Structure 1
Amino acid sequence: MTPARPFALRLFVPSGQPDGMRIVEKTNWSGIGFVVPRSQLKEFTQRPEASRPGVYVLSGPDPEGGADRVYIGEADPLGRRLEQHQTRDFWTTAFAFTSKDGYLNKAHAQHLEARLIRLAQEAKRCRLENAVQGRSITLAEMDRAEADGFLEELLLCCPVLGFRAFEQPTGKPAAMSRRLFHLKGPDASGQGFESPGGFTVLRGARGRTDFVVSASPAWVTARAQLVSQGVFLEETGGLTLAQDYEFSSPSQAAIMLLARNANGRTEWKDAKGVTLKEHQEKAAEAASQEA
């Protein structure tokens, strides 16, 4: 595995408002990205980049408390297509990507759309709204290399911009180099580790089938979505986690397994029974002493 390399992003807010449209550029990348609040779509469509081909993502919260709803598409031009999506009620933010030098074409965009849809399906971190899956098209060898290179850079930008629907856990080999924490409860058990996006639980973890009566309906809905996506498999005696999966926090991970409200910082413990909370406090104390 190639080690992660440091990289730099330039973030520009043309309106001067912190919650306004943001423009992102990455060092040595010919692409450019836009984070567009729905209320400021007009500001994007008036820019020259909106007349180019590209790929976009619409994202919005699930009112029932489940994973964010996401729609992935491609367009030429981007601006006109995003305006047509005003008929969709669910989205609050659009992420749009195109090239600065105009080399990205319609075929590149279609390839990117298909790849992003596939990545979102595999990651299972969102509720995908696409009724029709992206078409996998045949590209010339050089065009495919260019599109895949563009995709790599785009995927580096997304988490920094707060969009994590394409991310997948680093995998068990990487997990073995981290401190593992364990959780046990009635009909529930699992092991996992702290990860950049929250807390990753390893494949094979067991979850209690039914939530307690006092559990938040939002948690019940969230886990039902994970079952429908195939993240959890319904088996005799409980649920089984079908893949390594990154939850947004240690508490969410604990709640999904224990089927009750839980503080993940105290539920997750290492092999000696030391809680995640104690480890975090020791790390914070050590950092303050070194400062």
Structure 2
Amino acid sequence: MRVAEITTRIVRVIEVPRSQLADFLKLPESQQVGVYFLMGDLSDAGLPRAYVGQSGNVGNRLVQHNQNKDFWNRALVVISLTNSLTQTHAMFLEWFAIAEATKAGRYSLENGNTGSQPYTPAPLQADCYEIHETAATLLATLGQPVFEPLTQTATMSNGKPQPAELFYCKGPDANGVGEYTSEGFVVLKGSTARVGNVASIQGSSQERFREQLVTDGVLQLQGTQYVFTRDYLFTSPSMAAIAVLGRSANGWMEWKTDKGQTLDGAKRQAVNATS
């Protein structure tokens, strides 16, 4: 187990490997009100799976999930050092965390619909926003950036904001726009993708991969096209191109700048030239 906290804050995050759940249950923190995140293997769409929950007794709830949820391998538990979280705090924090994690799009959430915002008095909401901010920092410190945005809308050059470098992937009924980042390739919300798959990938893992994007709500049918409902991180430019084009694709060659330069030329060859 690992513990993360900021000395000036009352929030603590405890990372509990599933294999050490029994050890966590011996801690007094396991009996507290808290919010928890179950982290698991990759979904068919290539994103790590996660589940957000809350409980008046997080230890008991994790025991239940240990019996009826198979996907997870570790839990991150958010509790108060002063044991001051109430059920009202926890319900709002759960709702807000699901909404923010969905917006970020880094994880495939097992929760489904976020539901409606629970009634929370304004002073408690203010507490919750501060707790959430601290928890988000601690989760990222523990290697789970659940709420961090996928893209940088602007970069700084000589103290002045500059537009992000965009790449485009076009085909029949497809017009993808994306950014190459340190974590992979992000296709931006509003990009369009081909609905049908070419014969060569039908019945393959690539077809199942695209079907999972539809199941997860990343791709939504609008007229004769799929539309990306949110920014989405792919592990590679090629997986992003496959999602857009509905066929096998080398993303390093398919994604191009507005001037027609390939992603390979703009990024990989530039590195080779520098070295």
TM-score normalised according to structure 1 size: 0.77
Which residue is 1:70 aligned to? Answer: 50
Structure 2 counterpart of 1:188: 174
Where does residue 158 of structure 2 map in the other structure?
none
SS of equivalent residue, structure 1 residue 138: coil
Q: 1:198 aligns with which of 162, 184, 190?
A: 184
Matched, 1:105 2:92: no
Q: CA deviation at 1:126?
A: 4.3
Q: Do the aligned partners of 1:66 and 1:225 also contact (CA within 8 Å) in 2?
A: no
- Paired with 1:168 and 1:186, the residues of 2 have a C-alpha distance of 30
| Cα pair distance change 1:251/1:46, threshold 3 Å | farther
CA distance 1:270–1:90, shift in 2 (3 Å): same
1:160 CA displacement: 4.2
1:58 corresponds, among 27, 31, 38, to 38
Query: Counterpart amino acid of 2:20?
Result: Q
Is the 8 Å Cα contact of residues 152 and 164 (structure 2) preserved in structure 1? no
Equivalent of 1:241, from 209, 225, 228? 228
Judge conservation of contact 2:154–2:164 (CA < 8 Å) in 1.
no
Give the number of the structure whose residues are more often strand, by fraction: 2
Mapped contact 2:220–2:226 kept (Cα < 8 A)? yes
Query: How much does 1:24 deviate?
Result: 2.0
After superposition, the Cα gap between the structure-2 partners of 1:26 and 1:219, relative to the gap in structure 1 and judged at 3 Å, is farther
CA positional deviation for 1:150:
0.8
Residue 73 of structure 1 and its aligned partner are, at CA, apart by 1.0
TM superposition shift of 1:56: 0.4
Deviation at 1:125? 4.8
Unpaired runs of at least 5, structure 1: 1-20
Partner residue in 1 for 2:241: 254
For structure 2, the residue ranges without an aligned partner over 5 or more in a row are 156-160
1:258, CA displacement in angstroms?
A: 1.5
What secondary structure does 2:165 align onto? coil
**Shift of the alpha carbon at 1:259?**
1.6
Q: Secondary structure at the match of 2:265?
A: helix
Given the superposition, is the C-alpha separation of residues 134 and 235 from structure 1 closer, same or farther in structure 2, using an over 3 Å criterion?
closer
Question: In the superposition, relative to structure 1, how do residues 198 and 62 fare at CA in structure 2: closer, same or farther (>3 Å)?
Answer: closer
Q: What percentage of residue pairs aligned between the two structures are identical?
A: 37
Q: Which residue of 1 aligns with 2:198?
A: 212
